[in-house]
Amino acid sequence: MNKPYGAQGQIINFPFQDLHETFYNQDGIEIEVRDGILSVGVDDKSELEEAKQLARLYIAAWSERQNFKITVDFNHTWQTNLQGQQHHQLEVVDHIGVSERLQIISTTHQISIPMTASLVTQQMYDSASFTNDTAIWQKAQKYPTLKSAIFYYSEEVVDDERPLYGIYKALEAITSFLHKNEKVGRKLLAQLAGQSFSYVDDVMQTTQIKRHHKTSSTRKISDEECRQRAKILIDAFASSLPYK
């Protein structure tokens, strides 16, 4: 990266150390991952904090998609002086994480030839790449509700021993966006996922037992089922949102 100002840090718990890509480069802001290090660079120093927030949203979207929590510490900063020399500042941190890389085969397009054969081409789909999260990242920039839900899920639900409150906050943000009436909002969210009202309501009822000391709600499903449904519902909501 060849930007005059920037920050970088280790992606904590990130198992894909061989991933190298620049996945954002617009309006004087560049975001790159290399050797497990996330770097953001800017042409204008005043935009550095914004660039770091854009990168953190990518981290959150990646965690939500993968159901695997990663974070980043921007502990290394640099800036270029008038003589063209870079001044670096570093804070030492120590984090280690291990996992396996997931790769699957995805059909990209199919050509059918009547009465003869069907030719299918395939390409390797690398789940580690942050480019897979660009679509939901772009929507989250436009829709604060989706942005909040992604952060709630990635920070308080993924790999968390007590995920229920984070699930409640994520889904409450979405249902409130869909309709001011609680029940109607839950019904609309269920419809987006092609599910019944109880699919959402059972999650919300179960999360209430952790949200309140005293509540009339009862556990309907397990924590893990709540987690799985929450991800499905967030993804369904994201898919329903237009780009423009």
- Backbone region of residue 44 per phi and psi (left: phi > 0; alpha: psi in -120 to 50; beta: other values): beta
Q: Distance (Å, rounded) from C-alpha 16 to C-alpha 23?
A: 15
Q: Distance (Å, rounded) from C-alpha 202 to C-alpha 6?
A: 45
Provide the whole-model pTM. Answer: 0.83
Nearest to 153 by CA among 85, 79, 62, 214: 62
pLDDT digits (tens, 9 = 90+) for 141-175: 999 999 999 999 999 999 888 999 999 999 999 99
Quick one: how far is CA 113 from the chain centroid?
A: 40
HSE at residue 231, side-chain half, CA atoms within 13 A, is 20
Q: What's the token pair of residue 133?
A: 């999260």
pLDDT tens sequence for the chain (244 residues): 889 999 999 999 999 999 999 999 999 999 999 999 999 999 999 999 999 999 999 999 999 999 999 999 999 999 877 666 677 777 654 444 444 444 433 333 333 334 444 433 334 448 899 999 999 999 999 999 999 999 999 999 998 889 999 999 999 999 999 999 999 999 999 999 999 999 999 999 999 876 555 555 678 899 999 999 999 999 999 999 998 7
Q: What is the 3-state secondary structure (H, E, C) of 87-146?
A: EEEECCCCCCCCCCCCEEEEEEEEEEECCCEEEEEEEEEECCCHHHHHHHHHHHHHCHHH
Strands (E) in the chain, as ranges, are: 5-12, 20-26, 29-34, 37-42, 71-72, 76-80, 86-90, 103-113, 117-126
